[in-house]
Amino acid sequence: MMGRFKNILLAKLFTRFPKLIGRAFAKVSPVNVVGIPWAPFQKPLNESIIAIVTTAGVHLKDQPLFDMKDPDGDPSFRELPSATPSHDYKITHDYYDHADADRDLNIVFPVGRLMEMERAGVIKAAAKVNYGFMGHITGRHVDTLIKKSAPEVAARLKKENADAVLLTPG
Amino acid sequence: MGLIQREIEKAGIPTVSVSIQRRFTEEVRPPRAVFLDWPMGHPLGEPFKVDIQMAVIKSAFKALETIKEPGTIIDLPFRWKMVEDLKEII
């Protein structure tokens, strides 16, 4: 419990004093990636179905919370339906201060804005299902994320005919 | 976020992310990103500021349409809480 309290306190400090972030993460070992994947965006935007993937720790109130006790984070994901009213969502994430996002989910998970764009004809549609992760994945769970949960979400998005994906952090 | 983005792009779906931590984004090398020097927990700006939230999403979509070079990060010229920076887009 003390660990969680410390993380929440740090998150508040980082939000107020962003310069501390660089210092805090200076020792985090870099992730080595090879190359840059590329899928050209060829459809017009107004013919495209757009999905959101957020790492802000957003989930439905009746879904399991993200695990805040594992220091390597929680690499699992949650389905976030676009039609769900925002008061049925909550955020579990101790590593950033989500007081503002609790008031307006759109600042980390802009599904309301996407629905408005659908109504205005800017995009063809907001995807029926979006996906929520908790950021702050480190250590052994980087592998779980890259090898298991992220490819699974990618496969689902493909099956659900998403034409493009917008990613938003916490 | 960037690692998940890379896996989605690998599956053949074009992606764009909104970054507020440029160092991490540079390190993970996602295909397309827009960057804002804004506080954690606020990638789309402030609560209930619909115009600003829309401006960020529209800028991200523009990046999706225009970036041709994999790994491009576009620095958006929007300063934190400076609505005047958004004049041209909203």
Overall residue count recorded for chain B in this entry: 90
Which pLDDT does position A22 carry in this prediction?
A: 61
For chain B, the first-to-last Cα distance in angstroms comes to 27
Containing domain of residue B78, as a range?
Answer: 2-86
Angle at which helix B2-10 crosses helix A150-159, to 10 degrees, equals: 50
Does the CB of B13 have a partner CB in chain A at under 8 Å?
yes
Among A19, A32, A167, the strongest candidate for a mutation testing the B interface, having the largest count of B CBs within 10 A, is: A167
| Interface confidence: ipTM more than 0.90 | yes
Q: CB count, 10 Å around CB of A128?
A: 14
CA distance A9 to A14: 9
Which pLDDT does position B42 carry in this prediction?
A: 97
Per-residue pLDDT tens digits of chain A, which is 170 residues long: 567 877 887 787 777 777 666 666 555 556 789 999 999 999 999 999 999 999 999 999 999 999 999 988 999 999 999 999 999 999 999 889 999 999 999 999 999 999 999 999 999 999 999 999 998 888 899 999 999 999 999 999 999 999 999 999 99
Which pLDDT does position A75 carry in this prediction?
A: 94
Which residue did the predictor score with more confidence, B76 or A30? B76
The SS3 call for residue B35 is strand
Helix (H) / strand (E) element for A157: namely helix A150-159
Mean pLDDT calculated for residue range B69-88: 87
Long-range pairs, B51-55, Cβ under 8 A, ≥24: B51/B83, B51/B86, B51/B90, B52/B78, B52/B83, B52/B86, B52/B90, B53/A106, B53/A107, B53/A110, B53/A113, B54/A113, B54/A116, B54/A117, B54/B90, B55/B86, B55/B89, B55/B90
pLDDT band at B45 (very low <50, low <70, confident <90, very high): very high
Which residue did the predictor score with more confidence, B71 or A137? B71
Count of domains observed in chain B: 1
Mean pLDDT calculated for residue range B30-43: 97
Which pLDDT does position B88 carry in this prediction?
A: 65
Would you say A107 and A15 are in contact if contact means Cβ atoms under 8 Å apart? no
Q: Which residue of A has its CA nearest to B32?
A: A38
Show residues of chain A in contact with B47, CB under 8 Å.
100-101, 103-104, 106-107
Q: Which residue of A has its CA nearest to B68?
A: A40
Rg of chain A over all Cα atoms, to the nearest angstrom: 17
Mean pLDDT calculated for residue range B56-77: 97
